[in-house]
Structure 1
């Protein structure tokens, strides 16, 4: 929000078909290089990492897709999920039915009801799409949004009142956020 009272998180399905604009990227030697956009439409997730595209290319794609001007953005990598979920002492998730993914590569095995997950298990939970209603990105996005909301609740309720926990969270965040 313009008054800094809140922030809005938007999830975009990685398989969404969209155009990717040309984007200028900073190279390791400090120079810049324009990475050509897509010809026609391609998956949204190709806006980062493919052909040398950096996070700025993803934000330019979001701007083109939504018509919004993005002044600031934050990116956290997979390690952020592991370190932040551990730093807050685990994140509570509540499942309507057991979630077992033995053939999807995550080896996730969570029972029905409440579980507290952290580290590698939290990452597996967020990457999983097997065993969900439609096994789709949209189902996974919903699960990820609930996880983030639960982690934020945990931060507010348990972490902010503990200087040592807050230091752990700040340390984890600074190592994982771009």
Structure 2
């Protein structure tokens, strides 16, 4: 067999192998996308079923752990902003309320010990900022990574609440869970 024919056959075999590899990669991506879509749907169903006990009025709830430094910073920020927000605030924890004594102004940010409601969000890493309807249903959920993100989300939620827009229609940016 001449060298040019062998080279041509080898080239076509290489091209065929590359197409097979590309097909396998595309298949893997489709399987991964289906898995992510399924988990996102399951998470969304879980999130909309969450209820925070004992609210009675629409409010902004911070689910926090006293051992978390970011939780403390977010709680301090919320207590400073309490007068400017259109909804009352609460700090929800699984701990005894006195774990937050001296750490936040409990007159401006009341601490509620609610282990049952905490179990609803225990799979999330605190702090968790929640916009809760009067019936206790969680309308929006935000997982802050810094205090600046909290300010941004609170501004968006406040604008929406001041305009009378449904809390569910608020989009809190890329860090939020819709």
Tell me the TM-score normalised to structure 2 length.
Answer: 0.21
The structure that has the greater radius of gyration is 2
Bigger share in helix: 2
Higher relative contact order (CA closer than 8 Å, sequence separation 6+) = 2
Tell me the TM-score normalised to structure 1 length.
Answer: 0.21
